[in-house]
Structure 1
Amino acid sequence: MSTPTMDDAAKVLADPKAYTDEAGLHAALTHLRANAPVSWVEVEDYAPFWAITKHADIMEIERANDIFTNSPRPVLVTRQGDEQQAAVGIKTLIHMDDPQHRDFRAIGANWFRPKAMRALKDRADELAVQFIDKMAAEGPECDFVQQVAVNYPLYMIMTLLGVPESDFASMLRWTQELFGSDDEELQRGTMEESMGALLEMFQYFTELTASRRAEPTDDLASTIANATIDGKPLDDIETVSYYAILAAAGHDTSSASISGGMAALLQHPDQLARLRNDMSLMPLAVEEMIRWTTPVKEFMRTAQRDYDLRGTRIKAGESVLLSYVSGNRDEDVFVDPFSFDVGRDPNKHIAFGYGVHFCLGAALARLEINSFFSALLPRLEWAELAGEPAHMATTFVGGLKHLPIRYRLRA
């Protein structure tokens, strides 16, 4: 088996600022798919890893979850970040492997099944109208990300958890600081200070657990607080980790898809007109918005034994980075992948992952995006960009952090 030399283009995957320049990022990833789809990456401050950029290879590794495990390195962070996460002892679903992952996933699974989503649809539609009414009142200009997109999915996931509205602002701040730790505008400060946001969230959810155990209620928080595995209740780290991943990932991913979807429609007015004229395309348009934005940029896996991929030997103990951003532009899978097509069908995107770790909240994300744009487009008389969109610096979860728009809405 041959071992390729490092391709410098792969360094973008460990550069948070690279994700603020979509043209440059995609140019590098296109090069990698064509010339070095399995590429060794060594970057200062990071433990080395293999960059996996082809759709088929990402799916192959996702399927082999007994060989490529989430533990001990589920996401790309610096060596210091690896050490700090290990010290805190986080145990979210993305840190787990089967059978533990299967058991913990089952705790919240019923809340995200089709029956539960049908029950949530009225709430999703109601909130969509409320935020579009706010857009109308605050118009004719707004920062669509900060005034709309970050709040709508936050209200949805907090409603599901049963968190009081008075705490929504704190939750938004914590999630933005956690996922924005690589962005100079959003970060709290040093790595240690950023970990403070995590600890504050942990403290909040520890108190929520105690409250739900003392007085159970009909919400997801109560389900988590009172869950048992093998007859034993979850410990503090396990319950808090469960809340944290749902609150943070369940908010930021949908926010990125909605804001990125809005930007894509404004940047492709032909597709906006097409969708407005045929709203039956909405389910396909939602999938295309998710593919186009790919809010979760990557996950890491660690090989438990030697594995051969495209003639390259990945050795036991080595990490691989699954670049979903690259996989969702793979020319071998998508016809004209750099075209935004609201009627794209089929659309085999992997923005929600694949296999046993497929995103638990995928149905909720689809519901939110569908409800929002189904409410917005019939009222949207016209809209245009009012400035340059700005992307968050990140290597994990994120999208636009600012989207200035100018618009007119029907009452």
Structure 2
Amino acid sequence: MSMPIVDGTAKILADPHSYTEEARLHATLAKVRASEPVSLVDVPGYQPFWAITKHADILAVERANRLFTNWPRPVLMSAASDEMQSAAGIRTLIHMDDPQHRVVRSIAADWFSPKAMKAMGERIEQLAKQYVDRMREAGGECDFVQEVAVNFPLYVIMSLLGVPESDFPRMLKLTQELVGSDDDELKRSAPADETMNALLEMFQYFQHLTASWREHPTGDLGSTIANARIDGEPLSDVDTMSYYAIIATAGHDTTSSSIAGGLRALVEHPEQRENLRANLDLMPLATEEIIRWVTPVKAFMRTAAQDTTLNGVPIAAGESLLLSYVSGNRDEDAFTDPFRFDIEREPNKHVAFGFGVHFCLGAGLARMEIGKFLAELLPRLTSIELNGVPALSATTFVGGLKHLPIRYTLA
């Protein structure tokens, strides 16, 4: 263990409920960035970790992917959950390092290429229109998260995988249980190990589909994964199921959080909303600002492969680092006026998608879904306001709004 440099305020990053109070969270992280940007967090229930809160330091760690590895602890979880996941042998893309990561990532890479995104554009536009029409049919009031934001990207990613539409509700429940394990409303109602049971239930579901895809290959991503070969051999059952799980969760919950959080930001900043509505050509910039503002992936973990230093702080081999994307995306040294929501922000070098070899595989799809939904909604929107108190999910990994009650009029 390195000589501890402890700033007690950084422990907020190990508290899932801190993410439900954004103002307090951001104020605390601003103090951490200013006083001890690399500080040790050692709290009950978790293995110790170094909190990395500066944008430049996050990039430095992400660039040095051989020095700072994803395996064995890619996500902040309780010590008990760390042990359970290790015992289950879960190995998704976020658990892997090169060269294995590069080879396994390539299996799905073509499905998220610019060419593939262009081919999907028309279908996503149709879906966006369908869900905006549903908002109109709802009579001018809805919980935008539960009625729109979680369903639109769910439909996109499950269709891409090849999951039957009749099973979409089941997939929604399982993905929310997986990323909402720290939230009293979203998690399963039983003990902590029920989160692992949700993952195992997802694995069991995809086992049946895998058998079908291998016997009768289809033209979807799920079939591509099921029939992939590395050095002539198929992926192991665990690696195959893990691949489906990361695509299903990462391709759904992050985008739904961004769409919901983006709409909330536009409601609360009407001048920005009207600017975007009048100038839809600003959508690419607005989309990046929404992603920075929301930061649906709160953090990732890395492990030092050897003794090193970061920002002058000694880090010992085997120690964990938490890359706080939420903090990095409000870093005063990286962004001008970082607490201002600005749809014309440029440059906007946010770290919400990560950086380097682990840059989000589905970033292009997420950007397209956010942009096309808002491009459909805003021209038809004549008024919108909050119709209650928004509620954020408790999490230390992926999350955002779980309720956004709104009142609106649509053309």
TM norm structure 1:
0.99
The number of residues matched between the two structures is 409
Q: CA deviation at 1:3?
A: 4.3
Does structure 2 conserve the Cα–Cα contact (< 8 Å) formed by 1:212 and 1:222?
yes
SS in 2 for 1:381: strand
SS in 1 for 2:252: helix
Q: Which amino acid aligns with 2:161?
A: L
C-alpha distance in 1, partners of 2:271/2:344? 12
Q: Which amino acid aligns with 1:209?
A: T
Q: Which amino acid aligns with 2:316?
A: K
Structure-1 residue corresponding to 2:272 = 271
Structure-2 residue corresponding to 1:324 = 325
C-alpha distance in 2, partners of 1:130/1:15? 38
Structure-2 residue corresponding to 1:381 = 382
C-alpha distance in 2, partners of 1:385/1:137? 18
Structure-2 residue corresponding to 1:285 = 286
C-alpha distance in 1, partners of 2:282/2:383? 19
Structure-1 residue corresponding to 2:79 = 79
Structure-1 residue corresponding to 2:158 = 158
Q: Which amino acid aligns with 2:179?
A: F
Does structure 2 conserve the Cα–Cα contact (< 8 Å) formed by 1:297 and 1:397?
yes
Structure-1 residue corresponding to 2:394 = 393
Structure-2 residue corresponding to 1:249 = 250
Structure-2 residue corresponding to 1:311 = 312
Q: Which amino acid aligns with 2:85?
A: Q
C-alpha distance in 2, partners of 1:396/1:349? 17
Structure-2 residue corresponding to 1:38 = 38
C-alpha distance in 1, partners of 2:394/2:369? 25
Does structure 2 conserve the Cα–Cα contact (< 8 Å) formed by 1:111 and 1:220?
yes
Q: Which amino acid aligns with 1:333?
A: A
Structure-2 residue corresponding to 1:123 = 123
C-alpha distance in 2, partners of 1:125/1:106? 27
Does structure 2 conserve the Cα–Cα contact (< 8 Å) formed by 1:139 and 1:406?
no
Does structure 2 conserve the Cα–Cα contact (< 8 Å) formed by 1:297 and 1:324?
yes
Alignment of 1:93-242 (within 5 A): 93-189=93-189, 190-242=191-243
Answering whether residue 336 of structure 2 is matched by residue 370 of structure 1, we say: no
Structure-1 residue corresponding to 2:12 = 12
Q: Which amino acid aligns with 1:176?
A: Q
Alignment of 1:37-76 (within 5 A): 37-76=37-76
- Gaps (5+ residues) in structure 1? none
C-alpha distance in 1, partners of 2:68/2:303? 5
Q: Deviations over 1:335-365 (max 9, x none)?
A: 1000000111110001000000000000000
C-alpha distance in 2, partners of 1:242/1:4? 37
C-alpha distance in 1, partners of 2:54/2:195? 33
Moved runs in structure 1, 4+ residues, more than 6 A? Answer: none
SS in 2 for 1:51: strand
C-alpha distance in 1, partners of 2:388/2:349? 32
SS in 2 for 1:191: coil
Q: Which amino acid aligns with 1:137?
A: E
Q: CA deviation at 1:194?
A: 1.9
Q: Deviations over 1:47-74 (max 9, x none)?
A: 0000000000000000100010000100
Q: CA deviation at 1:139?
A: 2.4
C-alpha distance in 1, partners of 2:3/2:237? 44
Q: CA deviation at 1:6?
A: 1.1
C-alpha distance in 2, partners of 1:250/1:114? 16
Q: Which amino acid aligns with 2:180?
A: G
C-alpha distance in 2, partners of 1:213/1:4? 52
C-alpha distance in 2, partners of 1:269/1:378? 14
Q: CA deviation at 1:99?
A: 0.5
Q: Which amino acid aligns with 1:248?
A: T
Does structure 2 conserve the Cα–Cα contact (< 8 Å) formed by 1:45 and 1:78?
yes
Does structure 2 conserve the Cα–Cα contact (< 8 Å) formed by 1:63 and 1:355?
yes
Does structure 2 conserve the Cα–Cα contact (< 8 Å) formed by 1:4 and 1:312?
no
C-alpha distance in 2, partners of 1:150/1:164? 17
Structure-1 residue corresponding to 2:340 = 339
SS in 2 for 1:39: strand
Q: CA deviation at 1:199?
A: 0.8
C-alpha distance in 2, partners of 1:279/1:71? 42
SS in 2 for 1:308: strand
Superposed CA RMSD: 0.8
C-alpha distance in 1, partners of 2:3/2:126? 55
Q: CA deviation at 1:4?
A: 5.4
Q: CA deviation at 1:5?
A: 3.0
Q: Which amino acid aligns with 2:46?
A: Y
